[in-house]
Amino acid sequence: MDMTERVVPIAEAHEATAMPVVGRPRAAATPAAEVRNAATAQPVQLPAAAGRTRISPAKPPWSLASGQGALSLDRAFKAQLARLTFGLSPAVLAEQTFDWMVHLAISPGKRLQLAEDALRNAARLGLYAGESAVKPGTPPCVEPRPTDRRFAAEAWQRWPFNLIYQAFLLNQQWWNDATTGIEGVSRRNERSLSFTVRQALDIASPSNFILTNPEIAQVTIEQGGRNLLKGLQNLVEDCERTITGQAPSGADQFIVGQNVAITPGKVVLQNRLMELIQYAPSTEQVHAEPVLIVPAWIMKYYILDLSPQNSLVKYLVDQRHTVFMISWKNPGPDDRDLGMDDYRKLGVMAALDAIAAIAPGRKVHAAGYCLGGTMLTIAAATMGRDLDERLASMTLFAAQADFTEAGELMLFINESQISYLENLMWDRGYLDPYEMAGAFNIIRSNDLVWSRVIREYLMGGRQPINDLMAWNADTTRLPYRMHSEYLRQLFLNNDLAEGRYCVEGRPISIADIRIPTFAVGTAADHVAPWRSVFKTHLALPGELAFVLTSGGHNAGIVSEPGHPGRTYQFHVHQPNDRYVDPDTWRRETPVLKGSWWPEWHRWLARHSSGRTAPPPVGAPDNGYPVRGDAPGLYVRQS
């Protein structure tokens, strides 16, 4: 008898037992002995008993060895891990730490310097402790940074709190020296590690603890601990609101369409990505060229139409401008495949088509805010390439086109981090707004995180919420594909500034934008640093009016006339003017008091062709009927 073993794949074994495998042809029958089924008395074909059959483990579709299963497992694991690490890649931290440790280990001179610095700091602290004990009012041995207000209260100058915060600042100073200036460490890793260490030290700051913060200790004694009880109640309430998806305490008094976003207007276009709002005129005549505003889709548009007294939209309408506003849809899982070009076509270009139908023959003053400004730049460069001359001017609010100096956000942008975020977005199809907000909060953790912990959870207070704060809590999501393209093509590769960004299969160049441009940078911007916005001077060949205003990324833009303490600098760069670097520009340009809004209005008026009657609302005969009242439906989506 032939005892040779016959190796049969799993699929063939299934076929031999009358269980066909989908997608594979049935193999030829194997000679078999006839056996009858005991229940039916029908013959059953079995493999011949001439030899033993050994089944080979073929790879099923879900096999890890198939590659697809392994990738799915990796993505699922990293997505769960990313939720625990707030979207920050542990591989990035490991890489920068290893780079620092290795180069520090082979730098004996740096280690000796750090040891000497530690001894010197200890001596300085000891000397200060002795002098301050016998001579109150002794100047501190180290001063905090000008922007660090944690230890500004008089109570910090009393013993022992003066020694506690001085020791902390000396320690912070030492760690800054320890993580910088090491030969061989890459610039990116040095900045990232220094930032990470600074965040860890901020967590351990004596201002964050009851026993080491004299202000908290004093309030706790005065109130008999009632502040801590109230703080616990605040913490529980905030956790409940976060878990249930409710707005922060106090934000519910600002309702879209009732006391914010109430400038009269109509929705004249709706597609799967945006609604276009046309605002009603408030004057008998308007400037001939309408204004189209393209907000970022990482925010609700009504930051530019808050309360009537600080609404940029209302201000423009009252200054005789016809205003159109894009209101972006808040994407969900079904929108995962929407990309950057979808936002260009269904957003900017669709809006321009609608305006051309409503106000035929009129060019448009287009303005973009933050990411909306970047998209407007892409659209304008594409229009310049394709000889589309519908734009009269372009305005950029805190918007970047060159991302080489994009501030501390760049610390989170490398291949490892982007891949990590892609896994986080993959299973849901979008980036959750709380994860995105977490990254922005980390950049300014003292102002946005720890100051709130102290004020609301340890002191037991509640900061009164205003319309801008309520808007900030009205978060949005980002589609998977768009966010991945944005991070890779713009932040990581800087394709737009370097001429590699393609639209419809062909590259575009910012230098093809030959229309007058007005750019706004904000002095305290951590999202789009003003020096990065200033780099627009290097890319645009035409007239460029540049404003540097006080305030941050949001508060600097919402800078209505009459706002106390606002200042700005303004200069118009003509095509034949010599380039001036940003620091020289800031030093030599006069500082003006007040809001920059009137300056922008005057600039728009100078680049307009006169006044005319307001255009009709919508264009039903051209396919743009009125679809409802402003603020529309999309802005209300949560």
β-strands 567-573, 506-507 pairing: unpaired
pLDDT > 70? residue 222: yes
The answer for residues whose C-beta is within 8 angstroms of residue 397's C-beta and 6 or more apart is 367, 368, 369, 370, 373, 520, 557
Q: Which amino acid is at 390?
A: R
**How confident is residue 64, by pLDDT bands cut at 50, 70 and 90?**
low
pLDDT at 413: 76
DSSP string of 398-420, one letter each residue:
S--S--TT-GGGGGG-SHHHHHH
**How confident is residue 216, by pLDDT bands cut at 50, 70 and 90?**
very high
Q: What's the Cα-to-Cα distance from 310 to each of 467, 468, 557, 563, rounded to whole Å?
A: 10, 10, 10, 9
Per residue in 182-202, pLDDT tens? Answer: 999 998 889 889 988 998 999
Copy the structure tokens of residue 37: 């089924």
461 DSSP 8-state letter:
-
**Which residues belong to the active site?**
370
What's the burial of 383, exposed, middle or buried (CB within 10 Å: 0-12/13-18/19+)? buried
Q: How many CA atoms lie within 13 A of 72 on its CB side?
A: 9
pLDDT at 273: 97
User: What does the buried/exposed string (b/e) look like for 562-599 if buried means 16 or more CB atoms within 10 Å of the residue's CB?
Assistant: ebeebbbbbeebeeeeeebebeebbeebeeeeebbbeb
Q: Report, as an integer, the average pLDDT of 73-91.
A: 71
Closest CA to 455 of 216, 162, 164: 216
Choose the weakest-confidence range: 289-298, 447-456, 480-489.
447-456
Residue 401 near residue 510 (C-beta atoms within 8 A): yes
Residue 192 near residue 200 (C-beta atoms within 8 A): no
Homologous superfamily (CATH) of 265-407+504-636 is Alpha/Beta hydrolase fold, catalytic domain (3.40.50.1820)
Q: How many other C-beta atoms lie within 10 A of the C-beta of residue 194?
A: 19
Total-model pTM: 0.84
Domain extent listing, the chain: 6-59, 90-219, 265-407+504-636
**How confident is residue 67, by pLDDT bands cut at 50, 70 and 90?**
low
Provide the mean pLDDT of the chain.
87
Per residue in 344-377, pLDDT tens? Answer: 999 999 999 999 999 999 999 999 999 999 999 9
Question: Which residue has tokens 């980002």?
Answer: 478
pLDDT at 349: 98
pLDDT at 372: 97
Residue 328 near residue 297 (C-beta atoms within 8 A): yes
Residue 255 near residue 307 (C-beta atoms within 8 A): no
What's the burial of 87, exposed, middle or buried (CB within 10 Å: 0-12/13-18/19+)? buried
Strand arrangement of the beta sheet that strand 291-294 belongs to:
591-593, 567-573, 544-549, 517-522, 391-397, 364-369, 291-294, 323-328, 274-279, 265-270, 628-629
Return the higher-pLDDT residue of 325 and 45: 325
pLDDT at 140: 92
pLDDT > 50? residue 622: yes
Q: Output the CA torsion 14→19→21→24 (10° steps).
A: 90
User: Cα separation of 151 and 35, whole Å?
Assistant: 91
Residue 478 near residue 431 (C-beta atoms within 8 A): yes
Residue 567 near residue 523 (C-beta atoms within 8 A): no
Q: Report, as an integer, the average pLDDT of 407-428.
A: 76
pLDDT > 90? residue 250: no
pLDDT > 70? residue 87: no
Q: Can you say how many angstroms the Cα of residue 573 is from the centroid of all Cα atoms in its chain? A: 30
Copy the structure tokens of residue 339: 């990309």
